[in-house]
Amino acid sequence: MEMIEMTLQVVSFLVENKPGVLFKVSNLFRRRGYNIQGITVGTIEGTGLSRMTVTVEADSRILNQILEQLDKMVEVVKVKRLDPIRAVSRELLLVKLRTTDPMARQEALGYINAYHGLILDVEPDILIAEVTGSPEEIDEFLRDIKPIGVEEMSRTGATALERGILKLV
């Protein structure tokens, strides 16, 4: 029996900025049995297009088939699998930390500062911070602050661009 190697893949594509496109794209992954780890979408000003970045743990062969199917969709303008070596990838994390203990507050501020984060809100017992970084840096930050007490968090998933002059648009 052949062993299938699943790896984390980042795919970026341009789509028409129309209702239902996100559903069609995510449904294609669902039909093939893949769970999207992260998805970000944003409009590209003045083009009628949106850039969609999908992170998925997938077998390369099957992912190639999915990308070929995506490329055939009328609403999809261009598809590109990003090489992790040639791409810059970032995530945004908003995190609410319980800081009733003054030492916990100091520790939280230290970590937020160490990861170049921003304090967005300060309450007597709660801090809300924003941290951006590579997915690995966000994972590391979350491991570091876990003992402090994460009350709530929201994480965007990766968005990415290829290095150099190559571009989708």
pLDDT in tens, 44-87: 988 899 999 998 888 888 888 888 888 888 899 999 888 888 88
Task: Choose one of 55, 82, 109: the last residue of a domain.
Answer: 82
* Domain total of the chain: 2
120 and 76 in a common domain: no
Residue 65 lies in a domain: yes
**Residue 1 in this model has a pLDDT that exceeds 60:** no
Give me the pLDDT at residue 2, please. Answer: 57
Q: What percent of the chain has pLDDT over 70?
A: 95
pLDDT range class, residue 3, cuts 50, 70, 90: low
pLDDT for residue 91 is more than 90: yes
The answer to the question of residue 142 being in a domain is: yes
Q: Report pTM.
A: 0.81
Contact 136, 142 (CB under 8 A): no
Instruction: State how far the alpha carbon of 156 is from the alpha carbons of 43, 70, 92, in Å.
Output: 16, 23, 5
Nearest residue to 24 (alpha-carbon basis) of 4, 3, 50, 2: 50
Band (162; pLDDT cuts 50, 70, 90): confident
**DSSP assignment letter at 45:** T
Given 82, 97, 126, the domain boundary residue is 82
pLDDT tens by residue, 127-149: 999 999 998 999 999 999 999 98
**Residue 129, SS3?**
strand
> Is residue 104 assigned to a domain?
yes
Kindly indicate the confidence band of residue 169, based on its pLDDT and cuts at 50, 70 and 90.
low
Q: Are residues 73 and 134 in the same domain?
A: no
Domain residues for the domain of 135 are 88-160
Is residue 169 a part of any domain in this protein?
A: no
Q: For residues 31 and 8, which has the higher predicted lDDT (pLDDT)?
A: 31
Paired tokens of 162: 């290829």
pLDDT above 90 as % of the chain: 49
Single residue among 66, 82, 98 that ends a domain in this structure: 82
